[in-house]
Each structure stands twice: as structure tokens, then as C-alpha cells.
Amino acid sequence: MDHKPLYARIRDRLVGRLVSGSWTPGMLIPSEMELARQLGVSQGTVRKALDLMTAENLLIRRQGRGTFVAVPDEGRKQFQFFRLVPDSGEHLLPESRVTRRDTAAADAAEAAALAISRAAPVCRVERLRLLAGKPLLVETLSVPKARLDGFEALETIPNNIYGLYAARWGITIAGATEKLKAIAASKTDAALLGCATGEPLLCIERVAVDLENTPVEWRVSRCLTGEAHYLAELR
Amino acid sequence: MDHKPLYARIRDRLVGRLVSGSWTPGMLIPSEMELARQLGVSQGTVRKALDLMTAENLLIRRQGRGTFVAVPDEGRKQFQFFRLVPDSGEHLLPESRVTRRDTAAADAAEAAALAISRAAPVCRVERLRLLAGKPLLVETLSVPKARLDGFEALETIPNNIYGLYAARWGITIAGATEKLKAIAASKTDAALLGCATGEPLLCIERVAVDLENTPVEWRVSRCLTGEAHYLAELR
DNA sequence: CAGTGGTCTAGACCACCCA
DNA sequence: GGGTGGTCTAGACCACTGC
């Protein structure tokens, strides 16, 4: 059972330092040699663990400088989980305007997506996001109150919410699964987006997970794709 | 200029064997030790090159057996470039029905996507794809005639077209870029798909590239997403 | 200049597969 | 048993960074 390779167990121990908060975003971590001494393995094994974590976007290595803990929204990483880009190709972050908030027991869809019980309370936010002043999408997100206690009392919801999860609750969003469909705009969405009812919208349903692969957030976005598109790279 | 690391240059030489066809899909390639001798580098360097190629889905390594050239449509790899899955979760390959074919000079969109001139001839295929007998999507694909000569004379277009590119022209599709939008069904698409004109469709525009990153195929799919969705994993 | 990560080598032992 | 890839170690040299 515990016959994972040594480098994988080293990785797990180092991820533990991230989860426990003893390594914080942006921080310089000890050198390979130092870690090898601390952990009682060779430098090569530490390197393999660090390379794994680098591939997972958890660390950033810089020759001559050292190895750093990745900060969620650094440079392009801001867009790691935002694949909707203007047709013109520029990558801009949209502004946000919160249109609704509440806290209540999870509905069936939320309970399934977040792997929690129907009775568990969730906090919800609906917000409109605009690019260069024009409505781009409206999204509804739900998080388990148990996991992000105090979310419902936040005065403002920052634009970059994954940075908030990290700063306030020490939760790093490590990945997400998205399901895309084309739908017709509902009356309320159309009003928010300033388009016609029935207009085709790109619907993105996302479950975001933390380092331990536990669902943290469920989000459904309805996007106008007249001047933007969702970009996917397949390799 | 040429100061790429040794393992990267080894990778390029080995990719060359794939491109030239001296290594063919499914084939067992020489062992690490043998390659190290042939190429005059250490086993560790060969390993790093092979690991790279494995990560690119070009090779498959099996402990105790050896290293094999990946077969484009082996097992789940059939779906490497087919991200549209039924909501039920099963992964089935759709049947295809060709609805139109022609060969002509490239239009502006094709020339831009395939990086060829307007005068260059392209072969086009439009086909309807069905899942369990129900229309799922209609797609139009264009390939440069110069690159896939004889394509226009094919009697049948196989369901798995990337396997054909490999078998007939020795071209391996190594990656693709997809742009997604929500659009309203045109009259002709609606007729093919058996839906109402104006019905929201998921439009997937894909440029597929070969091992050397040269565009090989341009494809635009219009999909019904009533009972299926496009699945994306973000890491 | 010293310290870091990046590359490259050499060799050991293991787990797995097949004849 | 002999060969394969998978893991782990140890040490060398290089390229880059900052003092």
C-alpha cells in the first residue's frame, strides 16, 4: 500500500508543507541540497519531487535564484483558470459586479458537485463580469460554508477569488473540471447581459478542487461569445 | 541557437525517426541501453528524451516489455482529441455520414488557419456524426491538398480520420488548438441535425498540427449539447 | 565570488515480463 | 534467467543570479 516511489512520498511531504501553511505563496524554499539533508534522501530524488510539483504549478524554479512557492495570480497564471479570451487575442481580466448573494442549504446539484450533504449550508454569489465595459458573462458560484466560514460575511468579493481562498483560508485551487454546453439565454440572464432572450450562450460548469482533490467551489457561467471564445489546447 | 540541451536534441532526432517512418506505430523500439550506444550518450540522457516523448503521447513504455511507438487510436487515446461526451458519462465514438465533399482554392479562413496561400487547393468534407443513432454534430473539415494528396479521391472517409493520416501519409497529429463559441443553428445545419433553426449549438473550431507544429487540418464542428457536453480538465 | 538550479554521466538495485 | 523499464544514488560540470 505504501509502496509509492520515494520521490512521490517526498512530494507528498512537501505538499504537506504547503497545506499546513508552513510554506506560503511567494516564499523561497530551501535549496535541493538542504532539503536532501533534511529528508535524508539524495539530491536527485528531491529534484524529481520538486519537478513534479513544478509541473503541477505549485512551485516555480529559477536558475541561479532558487525554488519559490507559486503565487496563484502571478503574471499569466491569473488566467490559468480563465480560458475565455477576446477574439482579438488580448488577455484581459474582466471587472465584476455582484448581483445577488445568499446562504442556504445545498440544492441537489450543489451537493453532488461539492460532494457534501443536502443539509450542509452553502454560500452563493451571482455576479456579472464585464470586459472593457461590455457585459461578458454572468456566473453563479457556490462554496460550502463549512469549508470557507465567513465567506457570507465578506463585504466585497474580489475579482480574483482564488487569491482570496488562498489568503483567507489557506486553500490553494489546484485544478478544475469544466463541462461546456450551448444554451439559450434565460430572461433574467438576458436582462443582465443586455442581450435577447433565447440568444445562444456558452454555459461553463466548473468544479474547482484543492491540492487534495476535494471540491471547493462550484461555478456556472453563462457567456456571450459574440466577441470572445473559450480557448483549449489539446496535446 | 543550437544550444538546446542534449536530451532535447536527442528527442528531436528520435522524433525524426517517427517523421521519416523508420519507426512505425505499435513497433518496439530499441532499449535505452541500445539507444545510448547508438547515439553516444548516457542511458540517463536517453531516458530523459524518452520520458519527454512519453509525456507527448508519442511513446508508450512498459516495464519489463520495452518502449513502443504509440498507436494513435489505442484504447482511450481514441478520445484524445474528442472531448464531446454524453452527459451519462460513457465514452462512445460516433458514427459518421458524409454529406458533402469538394476540392477548391482555399478561402480566407482556411488559408489563415492552415498557414497556406489563397491559391493553394484544399479538400473539404462535411459530415454528420451520430451517437446511438441520434444526430450529435455536423462538421466541416479542410486539409491542404499539397500535404494530403489523394485525399479528394478517397472512396470512404473513415470514422477515425487521424489514423488515416498516419497510415496513408505518415502524418501524426500531435496537438490541436480549439476555440469554442455558442452560435445559433443555421437553416442547413438545423436540417441536418434535426433541430430548430436558431437552436443554440456549441461551435468548435479546431486547428490540428503535426509533430513539427505545422497545421494539417482545420475543422469546424457545430454540436447539439442537449445530451452531451464538452469536457475540459484544467491543471 | 559563492550559491542556486540545469544538465549529464555512471552505476546500483528493484519489479516486471517472457521464454 | 536474462532483459526491460523504474528508482535511487553520487558526483561532475555548466549557466545564471546576486553580492
Q: Which residue of B has its CA nearest to A79?
A: B234
How far is Cα A170 from Cα A25, in angstroms, rounded to an integer? 10
- Between CA B190 and C1' D1 the distance (Å) reads 66
CA of A69, C1' of C15: distance in angstroms:
35
Q: Which three cell numbers stand for residue A228?
A: 470572445
Q: From its phi and psi, is residue A83 left (phi > 0), alpha (psi between -120 and 50) or beta?
A: alpha
Q: Check CB contact under 8 Å for B182 and A175.
A: no
Sheet holding A28-29, edge to edge: A28-29, A66-69, A59-62
Chain A CB contacts of B225 under 8 Å are 180-183
- pTM, two decimals, is 0.90
Q: What is the mean pLDDT of residues A138-152?
A: 96
Cβ–Cβ pairs < 8 A, chains A and B: 100
Question: CA-to-CA distance for B123 and B219, rounded, in angstroms?
Answer: 12
pLDDT in tens, A15-33: 999 988 899 999 999 999 9
Contacts of A202 in chain B (CB under 8 A): 180-182, 202
Amino acid (1-letter code) at residue B110 = E
Residues of B in contact with A57 (CB under 8 A): 235
Instruction: Provide the pLDDT for residue B75.
Output: 45
Residue A38 pLDDT exceeds 70 = yes
* pLDDT higher than 70, residue A77: no
- Please, which pLDDT band fits residue A2 given cuts at 50, 70 and 90? low
Across the interface, do A235 and B175 touch by the CB < 8 Å criterion? yes
pLDDT at B2: 53
User: What is the band of A78 on the pLDDT scale with cuts at 50, 70, 90?
Assistant: low
Q: What is the mean pLDDT of residues A73-86?
A: 68
Q: Note the pLDDT of residue B80.
A: 66
Numbered residues of chain A with Cβ closer than 8 Å to any chain B Cβ: 56-57, 80-81, 83, 174-184, 198-203, 205, 223, 225, 229-235
Give mean pLDDT in consecutive 10-residue pieces for chain B, a chain of 235 residues: 82 92 92 93 95 92 93 60 85 86 97 97 96 94 97 90 89 93 98 97 96 94 96 89
- Asked if A235 contacts B57 with a C-beta cutoff of 8 angstroms, the reply is yes
Three-state secondary-structure class, residue A71? coil
pLDDT at A72 over 90: no
CA distance A68 to A29: 6
* pLDDT band at A76; cut points 50, 70, 90: very low
Q: Which residue is nearest to nucleotide D3 (CA to C1')?
A: B64
Q: In whole numbers, what is the pLDDT of chain A averaged over residues? A: 91
**Does the distance separating the beta carbons of B80 and A182 come in below 8 Å?**
no
Give the model's pLDDT for residue A115.
Answer: 97
